[in-house]
Amino acid sequence: MHILVLSTIIFFTGVYGFLTRKNMLTMLISVELILNAVNINFVAINKYMYPENLEGHFFTLFVIGIAAAEAAVAVAIFINLYRNIRSIDVDDVTEMKY
Amino acid sequence: MNAISISFYFGSALVIIFAIMSVTSRRLLRSAIYLLFVLVGIAVFYLVLDYMFLAAVQVVVYMGGILVLIIFSILLTSHIGEKLQTVSPLSIVFAAGGVVIGAAVVISILMEHTFITSTTASNELTMKVIGESLLSVSKFGYVLPFEVISILLLAAMVAAIVIAKREKKSEL
């Protein structure tokens, strides 16, 4: 079960990046790390504890799909923000209305 | 210690190093490339666990889709080689402290807990099984979340186009 330790470390690395970064794109990268850690947990527990079921496998598939949708919308928002205020740092973005 | 466990520890050390480099690198493009290596490593873990389809999806969606999108928007919003502004050391200390404490708590719980590993041999996970349970309406069928995800992806696509679309006035 050392793979769960690996996923824990990746998860908290993502949390650290999310807390310390100022740029929105690097925060998006941290969120991807967190989602991947959760996916590893799903797959490992599915494989080693309940190999006759496939829940973890399909939940990982759906998490990947939702991550793709989330990244697409987030990148669209970043590009629009950059076009409007020439910056995507969280400190500069005080309002999202335009 | 056989060869598989040695390569597992080596690979996970590599993945952890790249993950840490990806959240600490001061250059945006490099941190995206380190994320690429992390995603490759995780896809290899899926392969080792015999989930071929999941590894393929990880490679196609994450590395082919999300990472390309991130690199694309990095190139659109910043200059190559531009360094990120540093955050205050106080916030780094607080974030690192909280993260280390949290990780220590979770890892100690993981080490104490005894996981009951199943002994039944997992049957071969073929493409046929995956497709049939994705589109089945019976118990353990996933047709409803499958359709919901398809609607969600469509909505996200439309939303991304609407948000990123340039206003007509500014073009004139």
CA-based Rg of chain A, rounded to a whole angstrom?
Answer: 17
pLDDT at position B1 is 66
Written as one string, the DSSP assignment of A52-70 is: T--HHHHHHHHHHHHHHHH
* Domain residue ranges in chain A: 2-85
How many distinct helices (H) and strands (E) make up chain A? 3, 0
ipTM of the complex: 0.88
| Site of tokens 């990880």 | B58
Closest to B16 (Cβ–Cβ): which among A9, A29, A77? A9
Residue window 128-167, chain B: list those with CB within 8 Å of chain A.
129-130, 133-134, 140, 142, 145, 149, 152-153, 155-157, 159-161, 163-164, 166
What does the alpha-carbon distance between residue B29 and residue B49 come to, in Å, rounded to a whole number?
A: 31
Beta bridge partners of B27: B83
pTM: 0.87
pLDDT at position B170 is 53
B2-53 residue pLDDT tens: 888 888 889 899 999 999 999 888 888 888 999 999 999 999 999 888 888 8
What does the alpha-carbon distance between residue A44 and residue A47 come to, in Å, rounded to a whole number?
A: 5
What does the block give as tokens for B50? 């015999």
B155 CB contacts (<8 Å, ≥6 apart)?
Answer: A69
Q: Where are the alpha helices (DSSP H) in A1-98?
A: 2-20, 24-49, 55-85
What does the block give as tokens for A82? 């950059």
Fold topology of A2-85: Helix Hairpins (1.10.287)
End-to-end C-alpha distance for chain B, whole angstroms: 68
Mean pLDDT taken over chain B:
84
What does the alpha-carbon distance between residue B169 and residue B46 come to, in Å, rounded to a whole number?
A: 49
CB contact under 8 A, A76 and B153: no
A34-87 residue pLDDT tens: 999 999 999 988 888 887 778 888 889 999 999 999 998 888 888 888 887 777
More confident residue, B154 or A93: B154
Say whether pLDDT at B137 is over 50: yes
| Site of tokens 């719980």 | B109
Residues of B in contact with A17 (CB under 8 A): 22-24
Identify the weakest region by mean pLDDT among B17-21, B91-95, B120-124. Answer: B120-124
Residue window 44-73, chain A: list those with CB within 8 Å of chain B.
44, 47-55, 57-58, 60-62, 64-73
Ordered structural domains, chain B, with CATH: 1-86 (1.20.120.1200), 124-167 (no CATH)
B150 CB contacts (<8 Å, ≥6 apart)?
Answer: none
Say whether pLDDT at B79 is over 60: yes
Q: Where are the alpha helices (DSSP H) in chain B?
A: 3-24, 28-48, 52-57, 67-77, 89-112, 127-134, 143-164, 168-171
**A20 to chain B nearest CA, in Å?**
6
**A28 to chain B nearest CA, in Å?**
8
